């Protein structure tokens, strides 16, 4: 999460998001250096800190970035094609998918940053999803909507086969 100055709140690595408390977040500068919140070597900023910072650099209109691993979006990503997404106003847009790159890598951060310029969501093949928003809620709601969308598309394909053109 982008704070008012050039500081970002990042989740700690290897900690379940379910158990996260406000004091667990780590404040980093634009180089990913922790400025507050690291208390020992077991508590470090997420390995995807670089990814988050690259996105904030590419999109100064967003204040929240969420990287998640929604199960149906990941399954859908094996199809290797953009996820069509019907928005509330009836407009369809396609959520782009990028090839697989190792978690925490420069390549992953750069590819996501490239795509996120034009989209509020990017699918990471065989890995997960990145969404952005003006608030955490916006970014979170987008995860829910895309996960539901991917779930429906996968289920339709299972029931009716891959010839179904809506999948
Ligand atoms: Zn991940």
**Domains, the chain, ranges and CATH?**
47-160 (3.40.225.10)
pLDDT, average across residues 28-41: 79
In the reported structure, the alpha carbon of residue 160 is separated from the centroid of ligand 1 by a whole-number distance in angstroms of 31
pLDDT, average across residues 119-142: 96
- pLDDT at position 88 is 67
> Cα(35)–Cα(13) distance, rounded to whole angstroms?
16
In the reported structure, the alpha carbon of residue 85 is separated from the centroid of ligand 1 by a whole-number distance in angstroms of 22
Q: Which two tokens stand for residue 118?
A: 């034009």
Q: For residue 85, give the 3-state DSSP assignment.
A: strand
- pLDDT at position 152 is 92
In the reported structure, the alpha carbon of residue 103 is separated from the centroid of ligand 1 by a whole-number distance in angstroms of 6
In the reported structure, the alpha carbon of residue 143 is separated from the centroid of ligand 1 by a whole-number distance in angstroms of 14
> Cα(15)–Cα(96) distance, rounded to whole angstroms?
28
Which residues are part of the catalytic machinery?
48
- pLDDT at position 43 is 78
């Amino acid at each position: 999460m982008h704070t008012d100055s050039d500081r970002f709140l990042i989740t700690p690595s290897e900690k379940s998001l379910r158990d996260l408390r406000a004091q667990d977040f780590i404040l980093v500068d634009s180089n990913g250096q922790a400025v507050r919140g690291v208390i020992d070597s077991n508590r470090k900023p997420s390995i995807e800190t670089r990814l988050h910072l690259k996105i904030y650099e590419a999109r100064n209109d967003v204040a929240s970035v969420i990287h998640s691993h929604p199960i149906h979006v990941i399954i859908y990503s094996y199809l290797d094609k953009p996820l069509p997404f019907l928005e509330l106003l009836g407009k369809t847009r396609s959520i782009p998918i990028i090839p697989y790159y190792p978690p925490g890598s420069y390549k992953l951060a750069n590819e996501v940053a490239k795509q996120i310029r034009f989209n509020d969501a990017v699918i990471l093949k065989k890995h997960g999803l990145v969404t952005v928003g003006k608030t955490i809620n916006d970014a979170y709601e987008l995860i829910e909507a895309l996960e539901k969308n991917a779930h429906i598309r996968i289920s339709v394909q299972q029931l009716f086969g891959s010839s179904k053109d809506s999948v």
